[in-house]
Amino acid sequence: MHQPSDLLIQLILIVFIFCKSRYMALNSPPELGFNDFLAMLFEPVSITAKLTRLFSSFTKGQTQLTYYYMTPIDTEKKLGPEGSPVTDHTLYRRLAGSLQYITFARPDLSYAVQQLCLYMHDPQEPHLSAMKRVLRYLRGTTDLGLQLFRSTTSQLIAYYDADWAGCPATRRSTSRYCVFLGDNLLTWSSKRQYTLSRSSVEVEYRGAANAVAETSWIRNLLREHHTLLFTATLVYCDNVSAVYMSANPIQHQRTKHIEIGIHFVHDKVAAGHVRVFHVASRFQYSDIFTKELLYPLFANFRSSLSVCISSASTTGAY
């Protein structure tokens, strides 16, 4: 087997630190060691065993998963608090926790699992039905997983977008981004904003601030590991107004309500550390984290995130 390049080793270290911080945020045991993480990356037995237990616990005393779905979430229905309570809250929460674990290697599940976890405190029957759909999708795609490849470039690239007033109950917006180092997906996030946004430009610009903050942290982390990036971070957005404001955040009546704090994006652009470009929506890969997508677009984005069937062997030589 070929030895991984130094950049790939740095990439693995960054993903390990990121995943460990997510485990801590989920109140999981903090004993996750680097050797355990390597086993999860290069020996997918742990994920496979988790899937086996997940399907066994769900199908015990219930209908078998006899058919599969092509996407993890219904594009015609949006989950809400309505419905009749489920009979077994413990089962729902246990399955939701297991799905959260699996998203570390399956980012294509992030949006569906996020929606299910929003109602973990009081799950209803529609939420359980949505969980069954996720399990049926997962059952049919157990051979997929997040892959890391040796890349010929060390370019840091981020895609960000926002769902303005997407929550039907609170009308809060959701920001999402995904960051690539070369061809490898490094970090991703889909988070509901704490405050209400009065315009789509505001919510998009907040999303830009979150994405740039994440890429700045990654650049600093790489610098601490003596891996310098000599090119500017490329940030792609599908909102033209947010792109213009990142280069020239003129304060006028329509943008005064945006906090001055998030204008550090302009400072990064002015310093040459970040370049913000417009991208068409059909190439906005971060949409997979906060939107219900039809299968053709979903499959395209999933492949772009390097969620695919592994062709590498972990035993012997190749």
- SS3 label, residue 264: helix
212 and 108 in a single domain? The answer is: no
Which of these three, 111, 126, 146, is where a domain ends? 146
- Establish if 272 belongs to a structural domain: yes
Can you give the pLDDT at residue 10?
54
75 and 167 in a single domain? The answer is: no
pTM (two decimals):
0.74
93 and 171 in a single domain? The answer is: no
For residue 118, the enclosing domain spans 44-146
136 and 164 in a single domain? The answer is: no
Which of these three, 111, 146, 181, is where a domain ends? 146
Q: Which of the 8 DSSP states describes residue 254? A: T
Question: Measured between alpha carbons, how far apart are the two ends of the chain, in Å?
Answer: 6
Can you give the pLDDT at residue 250?
60
Measured CA to CA, the distance from residue 314 to residue 220 in angstroms comes to: 32
Can you give the pLDDT at residue 318?
41
Which of these three, 146, 164, 186, is where a domain ends? 146
- Establish if 57 belongs to a structural domain: yes
167 and 302 in a single domain? The answer is: yes
**Regions in the chain scoring below 70 on pLDDT:** 1-66, 168, 249-262, 311-318
- Establish if 117 belongs to a structural domain: yes
- Establish if 29 belongs to a structural domain: no
Q: Which long-range contacts (CB under 8 A, 24 or more apart) does 187-191 make?
A: 187/14, 187/15, 187/18, 187/214, 187/218, 188/107, 188/110, 188/286, 188/289, 188/305, 189/214, 189/289, 190/110, 190/111, 190/114, 190/289, 190/290
- Establish if 15 belongs to a structural domain: no
Can you give the pLDDT at residue 197?
73
Can you give the pLDDT at residue 258?
64
Can you give the pLDDT at residue 28?
47
Instruction: For residue 41, give the nearest of 306, 318, 233, 271 by alpha carbon.
Output: 306
222 and 266 in a single domain? The answer is: yes
132 and 208 in a single domain? The answer is: no
Return the CATH number at 167. Answer: 3.30.420.10
Can you give the pLDDT at residue 25?
46
- Establish if 209 belongs to a structural domain: yes
Can you give the pLDDT at residue 183?
86
Give the strand pairing for 274-278 and 144-146. Answer: unpaired
Look up residue 120 and give its two tokens.
């973990």
227 and 299 in a single domain? The answer is: yes
163 and 140 in a single domain? The answer is: no
225 and 273 in a single domain? The answer is: yes
Instruction: For residue 205, give the nearest of 169, 171, 250 by alpha carbon.
Output: 250
169 and 287 in a single domain? The answer is: yes
124 and 192 in a single domain? The answer is: no
- Establish if 182 belongs to a structural domain: yes
- Establish if 4 belongs to a structural domain: no
Can you give the pLDDT at residue 35?
54
Measured CA to CA, the distance from residue 112 to residue 116 in angstroms comes to: 6
Can you give the pLDDT at residue 260?
60
| Number of structural domains found in the chain | 2
Measured CA to CA, the distance from residue 122 to residue 114 in angstroms comes to: 15
